[in-house]
Every structure is written in C-alpha cells, then in structure tokens.
Structure 1
C-alpha cells in the first residue's frame, strides 16, 4: 500500500471507521486546516492526542471525511466527521500556521461479522446507550447493531478509558478482543 499525506485533526478522543463525531473548530490553525481539506489540498485524519511524546498524537489514526458543518451561536464552526479507514502515522510535521501534516500508511479495517449468542447483549446495551444519549445517535442516519465490528468500534469511541488502553484493542486484527472486553465489562456491571 502507498503512503498518503493527510492533515491531522488531533483531539483527546478516538474515532474509528464507521464512526461519527461532532467537533467544535475554534483555533485559527484548525480552521485553516479544515479549509485546506475542503479545497482538496489534503485528506483528513483524526488522531488521538498523546501528551509528553515526540509526536503530537498516537500512531493509530483514522482517515475521515467532513460530512456536515454548522456555524454555532458563538460564531465558531462545528464539523461532523465520519471515520473511513484506519491509518498508521509514519511521520508528522507542523506547518507555520500550526497545522499538523502526517505521512500515513493505510491499515486493514476490521471485517464485518454478525453478532451472535451471548454477544447480542453488547448490541442491546449500545442501543440503550444511544437512547440515553440521543445527540450521539442523531449523528447516524443508520446504525449497524447487527455487525460486531461496528458495535465494537462504537463502544471503543464512547467508553471512558484512556486512549492508550483503547488503542491496544483498536490495534488488534479483528473485533474479538473488544467484544470480549465489553461483554466482561457489562457482566461485571450487572453482577454488582
């Protein structure tokens, strides 16, 4: 696979393929980056913030598209991004305007697979989570609660965990360890 140059949107969150996230864009450098992306100068990648490191982010990122934007009441810009493809960041550089650009290598996304047996509770719990958090559900025109990879990745995006711990699961070759982790988490919560 060939490497690609992408503009980096770095936040203290995780976005994975098929996921959507609404982000408030305030800083002049981020606004310039969004403009460059919309003009087609760069692709866009979302990367989790990494503090106390030589890189500004973790090496696991997700190529994404801007699928919607709105001007907020305070005049700032809100964008909705959708994750498309997992990436591995090979190198980064900061432009004079403060934007981060990266050279990245596409990685295989998790394959879709049906949820079966005891793992169906994970899907049902995610559906309940979205009912309690309708702003997150509103980001999706369609949910894929029957797909283990989709459900696993949405859990990783919303669970209150450190990014480094989430990325250990993200970097697995499939969703199985995440499914096991979320199932155990749900079971331990019910058992309490």
Structure 2
C-alpha cells in the first residue's frame, strides 16, 4: 500500500482520535489525496530527521475552517503499519510504501486490571477537552484502554515505536500496571 506520510510527534494508535491544523501546502495536498483515495494517510513519527519504522494509517473524519482561516481536520487511527521504503516529492510531501499490521484484538477487562481502566476514566473526567474526542469510550476493552494510555503518557519515541511493534496489548498492560500501580501506592 502506498500512502502520503505526515511526520508528526503525535502518537496515535488505532481507535485514537485527534485534531490537526493544516497550514503547509504539501499537507493541504496530503488532505486532498487522503480524501480522494478513501485510504487516508500515514501518521509517522521522526527520531531527529529520520522517519521511524512504525506508524498509523489515519482517516479524516471531519474538517472545518478554523477561526484563523486554517484548515482543521479530525483524524482517527485505523491500523498500524511498517514503512518499507519512503521518498519525498518536489513539494516535500513524503510518501511511503507500507505494510499494514494486525490491530490488537479487543480484550475484555479483567478484575485485576480495573484500576488501569478506572484511572483512564478519571483522567478523561478531569480533562473533558480530551474526553470530547471519545463520545463512546470503551473502558471495558483493555486494548482500547491501553492504547489511549500509551497516547497520553510522555514516552520516548523509541518506547512508542517498541509498543507499536508488539502484536498485542500485553506488553502495554504490563507497563501500565507498573506505572499506575506504583502511582496508586504513592497516593495511599
């Protein structure tokens, strides 16, 4: 699959939703291509000037003209991918030949994992502007919960890439237990 690429430090996983401001001509072109193809575009992170291997294919779910006259788009992560090769065109828009990766399967929450889910719910209640992106949150799907936590936590790029390379949510869940369980113990 060939996708136009949007290098950002935004970490968006499947099911994740974010709003972007488009102001460069090359990214206006990316939006047009993504809308015309119906396949969306590839969000990818950079490590310095180097594109990272893993990214998320995103589709545009809404757009608007912002008060400052710029284009605002709402995007939703669809699936992870790995970049096989990439290139840059004359207008500096990047493209990539990518291979889609399987999404993590939805997983029913277990009793032992309830604190991770309830902590995310509390965080969304504290920050309603972020929660507004998710009118139908799925706090009972551990995969969904893990992905939203990974998007929010201040992780290094290499850590984010490592989690993206995993075939399921278990490594993320283990990591979240260490972070959240420790925080809950400190607060007691």
| CA apart distance, 1:43 | 3.6
Q: Which of 18, 25, 38 is matched with 1:21 structurally?
A: 18
Tell me how far apart the structure 1 counterparts of residues 38 and 96 of structure 2 sit (CA, whole Å): 13
Alignment check: 8 A CA contact 1:5 1:42 kept: no
1:132 match: 126
Q: Which residue in 2 is equivalent to 1:35?
A: 32
Partner SS state of residue 58, structure 1: strand
Unaligned runs of 5+ in 1: none
* Counterpart residue number, 1:9: 6
Q: Which runs of 5+ in 2 are unaligned?
A: none
1:153 alignment counterpart: 147
SS at match of 1:84: strand
Contact preservation (8 Å) 1:110, 1:174 = yes
1:172 aligns with 2:166: yes
1:102 aligns with 2:99: no
| SS of aligned partner of 1:17 | coil
RMSD over aligned Cα atoms:
1.4
Q: Deviations over 1:23-69 (max 9, x none)?
A: 1111111112112222228641111222143xxx2111111110011
Alignment coverage as a number of residue pairs: 186
Q: What TM-score does the superposition give when structure 1 sets the normalisation length?
A: 0.91
- TM-score, normalization by structure 2: 0.93
